[in-house]
Structure 1
Amino acid sequence: MVLLYLDLIYHQIKNPEMFMGVFPCDLLPRHKVQQKPAAYIVNTDNSQQRGHHWVLIILCDNKNSIFFDSYGLSPENVVFPKDFIQFLKRNSTRITYQNRQLQDTVSSYCGHYCIFMLHHIARGVSYKKCIKIL
């Protein structure tokens, strides 16, 4: 089932080379990522847990990155594992994120939002325009 979803994601994005995959938070690369742009769909749970909430991280270039959370939270929010902010700071100096809650806390559509954002950004739609569409 997971492979089917990954195939769908690869098929949907214009630039499949930028999609690095789906990760639990503790398995994000520990080194500085060289290939950019690079997009990661990341779960807030670690690899020993079942999975809880999905976010999208895009390393645009050596300076800029995008952190997308459908709850509208900052990557530095205490609800997120430190892995997120450490990964972002290791790979960029400017982190863009939005603070508008798009998803209800009882909803399970976070992964859909991540795929939507990745799909459009990979096709050249700006992050700001994607947020406006939502």
Structure 2
Amino acid sequence: MYSRKRDNQFYNKSVQFYGSGFKDNILNLLEEKSTKVLNRVINAGEEMIQNKLNDILNKKSVKGSGKNINEKLLSILNKKNNIYGRGVFSIDELYHIPKGCGVINFDKSFEKGSHWVCYFNDKNLNFIEYFDSFGELNKIPNEIITFLKKSKKIIKYNDSVLQQLDSSKCGCFCIFYIKQRNKGKKPLEILNSLNQFPCDFNEMEISKLS
């Protein structure tokens, strides 16, 4: 059962969720409110949370990861996505230009799979979007940065941590983000529809809408 009190307890113990962003031309999807939020976020337990995250990402048998979900993600993209979905890729399969949208796994094609992220490239906008439900707890891999830069656009990303650390719904978060963008919702509108910290509410919303 959802408990906001429990969520707030987690929030108060956790890492600083809003960062200043990556260097180069990578901007923050939440930059308009980052400064305000930074003033009230408690910066504690960062090392503990990062270690837990690393443990989770290193578990190759995580439910919802790896090739066992490839077909499901691709099916959802093709069926429910109306902005020229490009498909599902491992991190060593990013040879193409990042048009439309797609889902990427941090593992290589010969590995079992770990964590899912996604991109969204609206041809009418001057930026390309990168979405990771673990937010700033994950550094964007260099392979993905190189891939996104092929778009010749500014790269915008979210740094809020939306997914619980023991959750395996990263693929569902990706589908949720892409589906909401295809409905015409703006990046900030999508992010603000969820709590800006890991909680049961986010997990339940993603399960309903992805």
TM-score range, shorter-chain basis? 0.7 to 0.9
Q: 8 Å contact 1:44–1:51 — kept in the other structure?
A: yes
- Give deviations 1:70-110, integer Å, cap 9, x for gaps: 011388x2xx4321000111213311111110012221010
In the alignment, the residues of structure 2 paired with residue 108 and residue 74 of structure 1 have an alpha-carbon distance, to the nearest angstrom, of: 15
User: Equivalent residue for 1:53?
Assistant: 115
In the alignment, the residues of structure 2 paired with residue 55 and residue 5 of structure 1 have an alpha-carbon distance, to the nearest angstrom, of: 12
| Superposition pairs of residues 57-96 of structure 1, within 5 angstroms | 57-61=119-123, 63-73=126-136, 77=139, 80-96=140-156
In the alignment, the residues of structure 1 paired with residue 71 and residue 168 of structure 2 have an alpha-carbon distance, to the nearest angstrom, of: 20
3-state SS in 1 of match to 2:144 = helix
| Superposition pairs of residues 34-45 of structure 1, within 5 angstroms | 36=99, 38-45=100-107
What is the one-letter code of the residue matched to 1:19? G
State TM-score, norm by structure 1. 0.81
3-state SS in 2 of match to 1:41 = strand
Give me the CA root mean square deviation: 2.2
In 2 relative to 1, CA 9–121 (structure 1 residues): closer, same or farther, beyond 3 Å? same
Q: Which runs of 5+ in 2 are unaligned?
A: 1-67, 195-210
Deviation at 1:12, TM superposition (A): 2.0
Q: Which moved more, 1:46-55 or 1:84-93?
A: 84-93
In 2 relative to 1, CA 91–5 (structure 1 residues): closer, same or farther, beyond 3 Å? closer
Q: 8 Å contact 2:77–2:87 — kept in the other structure?
A: no
User: Equivalent residue for 1:23?
Assistant: 89
User: Equivalent residue for 2:27?
Assistant: none
3-state SS in 1 of match to 2:166 = coil
State TM-score, norm by structure 2. 0.54
Percent identity over the alignment is 30
Of 11, 35, 41, the residue aligned with 2:79 is 11
In the alignment, the residues of structure 1 paired with residue 130 and residue 116 of structure 2 have an alpha-carbon distance, to the nearest angstrom, of: 11
User: Equivalent residue for 1:133?
Assistant: 193
Q: Which runs of 5+ in 1 are unaligned?
A: none
Higher helix fraction: Structure 1 or Structure 2? 2
Where does structure 1 differ by over 4 angstroms across 4 or more consecutive aligned residues?
none
Give the greater-gyration-radius structure (CA).
2
3-state SS in 1 of match to 2:133 = coil
In the alignment, the residues of structure 1 paired with residue 102 and residue 72 of structure 2 have an alpha-carbon distance, to the nearest angstrom, of: 17
